[in-house]
Amino acid sequence: MTTSPRHHPLRSLLTVMLVVALLLALAPPTAVLAQEEPPELITNGGFDDGTTGWWATGNLTMEIVDGRLCTEVPGGTTNPWDAIVGQDGIVLAEGESYAFGFAASASAPAAVRGIVQLPVDPFTAFISLTPTLGADPATFEGGFTAPQSLDNAQVVFQIGGSAEPWTFCLDDATLTGGAPPPVYEPDTGPRVRVNQVAYLPDGPKGATLVTEATEALPWELHDGSGTTVASGETAPAGVDPSSQQQVHTIDFGDVSTTGSGFTLVADGETSHPFDIAADAYETLRTDALDFYYTQRSGIEIDGAIAGEAYARPAGHVGVPPNTGDTEVPCQPAEVSEEVYGEPWTCDYTLDVTGGWYDAGDHGKYVVNGGISVAQLMSTFERTRTAATADEGALGDGTLDVPEQGNGVPDVLDEARWELEFMLKMQVPEGEPLAGMVHHKIHDNQWTGLPLLPHLDDRIRELHRPSTAATLNLAAAAAQGARLFAPYDAGFADELLAAARTAWDAAQETPALYAPPEDGASGGGPYDDNDVSDEFYWAAAELFITTGEDAFADAVTASAHHTGEVFTPGGFGWRDVAALGRMDLATVPNDLPDRDRVRDSVVAGADAYLASQEGEAYGQPYTPPDGEYVWGSNSQILNNMVVLGTAYDLTGEARYRDGVVEGMDYLLGRNALNHSYVTGYGENDARNQHSRWYANQLNPSLPNPPDGSVAGGPNSQESTWDPVAQRLLTGCAPQFCYVDDIESWATNELTINWNSTLSWVASFVADQDGGDDTPALACAVRYTTDGSWNAGFVARVLVTNTGDQPVRGWSVSWAFPGDQKVRQAWLADVTQDGAAVTAGGPRHNRDLAPGEKHTFGFLGASGGLAGAAPELFRLNGSACTTG
């Protein structure tokens, strides 16, 4: 908290002394003792005794100027901790609350960090005040409750990281116990909570009113000019369990008028403004996917592509100070023995450049990369299988990536960047555990914030292979093989070969787990001691891609094939069976019980709809015990993926509406009145935990790019960071969030959270105005008349089932694998990648109502499964099949 320069600790002390003197005169001695000031824990905080008790890094010289400690800070330092003034030996007691403050100034505007912290790795900060200083001294104050007892805590002022030299001056540094526990009261804005971005014209429109009233209240919808365009009454909903607020809901779904600047007024409150627009989510579709380019490792980020604020040199390519990812060794045996209970290392190094940085740190993790890249590929694959998907929305030239114009859909180019990294993590042939996949690669110690990737000077290490990582590669590479086959057959072959090798290796070593202890230093553990779901997911993807009986048997033999995979808390990197189930349901394949698989997805969606109907804020999320987990926004989004998949399977609008309403929660209709997506909404997340999107700590660095989603509320206190511990104790689940860069437990960004946002944003963008899918006016029957090892003959019957003629008809579809049209008759057929278009021949360019036309073609297969396509469009309109 920043206060006025007039609010000076010395003046406050004089006031306290006067109060104490008065108490001495009026109260008995026992009462006076109760008012004694707590002891000052910082030695010589007013610098009356020169610099006694203080130290500084070797690049600083401390001087006393006008009673303040001042030092010249050299320019050209890289990190905040490259220049420090500090004091050691601070005694803290667990559970005690402390008040911390200081007065400081700078000769030129400069960002500093005043921290009370653990003095050794990982240098946990118990409080971090991060002001930008000016020429006039200003006082900064805050409070915290110590999570542990220490006799050697540090007070440090990190003042490095500036390109130009400047002068830092410090005075009145104070740290005292006996303070009241800090009370955090977030600014939640107007009590009418809405989607701060937009509602679809013909979609659901809901809002939530926080109020003490128990009876229905009137509401009004105003357009951008302030004119009332709709009105009604609220519906009292009682106390919402996830926020502990008394709330009403507002339904204005009957309004279909489009425009910008709408507001809802109820109970004397006016909401944040919002739009009603059919194309509101087209930008979020691409922004959520563009996020991945600036997460890339091993490549220069081009400002002309990503925006100049995000330009940076390539990270971890071996250019000093990086040790680089070009020749990464395994963990030393003595280190791994502490983690695994037995020594493990290897005598080789691997080039594991590339891939995406997992989150706000510099680590790269295969199990998180697996679900992330799979969801990006599924976002693209949905354009081949879903009737409402925009076929061209994710093609070549649609994203901000350097590979534009290469004839490959941009989202696949982005996926390839991660897939190639995952291939590099596979243990080479001839080595112990050959074919298995290293679990992760990251620094051998945690690094501080901020730290751009190319400036990371820590040693990088490969961690022991795991069965989970191996199966993640098998699943993602198998999926990638069928999607890349029409564009790069060589890469598709490489992916499928790696997937088979990984599958076989996992069969041989089915229980090599990553333990939770492998997260003590430098990176998260991503531990998982049940990989039966990974086996199911990998078998499903290998079966869909190859059609082989062995993989079909592995699918049907798994308990996950008929078990409950759509749990209330949602799927994620540790629970991936749902990924296999949904792909079996939507991607063409010949599994015998596929109808049951589809029904199970719909049943899972029904459960999420039922839970959503009971939530006053419209989120499809009722986790066990009501506890919001780390990354709760990702779990909500993954539940929305299930709803969207059910809509694609059934065409029933209630599933689509569930996705659209769930988006309201993410974009502001929540207890905090906060949009969790950067760049979207009046009050959006800006300070997600990241070492390079670190504007909060260094104004020269950017905030996260638009379309970055924050992890969201986390009520699991055991996983809390110091900021959350300090501010959020006792919070109701929806209130367990703070938009602070230091709060990794509530505010991190990760590749697997943005991957599910990408799928959902693309789905919602495809719904246009939110109106029901128009009645189908065509039917297509696709028949294979014969097949052999490398080819087949197919026949297509198209019927105009509408009451209007179809002029200049064309039928389009996408092959699910590597099939190609070699020769056609009775139609003009072209193919681009997997996409095929068959147009009417010259003698039959129109189809009258009820008219049929049959054409055929000779097809070739490169060896992948030859499942028939299942989605056909007549002049862009989806047709019934069969």
DSSP structural state of residue 563: S
Q: Is 420 exposed, middle or buried (0-12, 13-18, 19+ CB in 10 A)?
A: middle
**Is the omega angle on the peptide bond into residue 515 within 30 degrees of 0, that is, cis?**
no
Return d(Cα 848, Cα 73) in angstroms, integer.
Answer: 81
- The DSSP line for 753-799 is HHHHHHHHHHHHHHTTT-PPPPPP-EEEEEEEEEEETTEEEEEEEEE
Using DSSP's 3-state secondary structure scheme, residue 737 falls into coil
Q: Would you say 428 and 482 are in contact if contact means Cβ atoms under 8 Å apart?
A: no
Q: Would you say 700 and 452 are in contact if contact means Cβ atoms under 8 Å apart?
A: no
The vertex-404 CA angle with 401 and 405, nearest 5°, equals: 175
351 is an active site residue: no
Asked whether the CA dihedral 695, 699, 702, 706 is positive or negative, the reply is: positive
Q: Would you say 571 and 638 are in contact if contact means Cβ atoms under 8 Å apart?
A: yes
**Parallel, antiparallel, or unpaired: how do β-strands 274-276 and 198-199 relate?**
parallel
Q: Which of 396, 528, 739, 740 is catalytic?
A: 739
Specify the DSSP element, H or E, that contains 105: strand 97-106
Contacts of 616 (CB under 8 A, 6+ apart): 208, 237, 240, 247, 249
Return d(Cα 378, Cα 206) in angstroms, integer.
Answer: 29
Neighbours of 848 (CB within 10 A): 10
Q: Would you say 371 and 755 are in contact if contact means Cβ atoms under 8 Å apart?
A: yes
Q: Which of 172, 358, 361, 740 is catalytic?
A: 361
Q: Which of 413, 443, 748, 870 is catalytic?
A: 748
Q: Cα-flanking dihedrals φ and ψ of residue 65, to 5°?
A: -125, 115
361 is an active site residue: yes
454 is an active site residue: no
**Parallel, antiparallel, or unpaired: how do β-strands 460-462 and 440-443 relate?**
antiparallel
689 is an active site residue: yes
Q: Which of 689, 706, 740, 818 is catalytic?
A: 689
Using DSSP's 3-state secondary structure scheme, residue 565 falls into coil
Return d(Cα 542, Cα 560) in angstroms, integer.
Answer: 16
| Residues with catalytic function | 361, 689, 739, 748
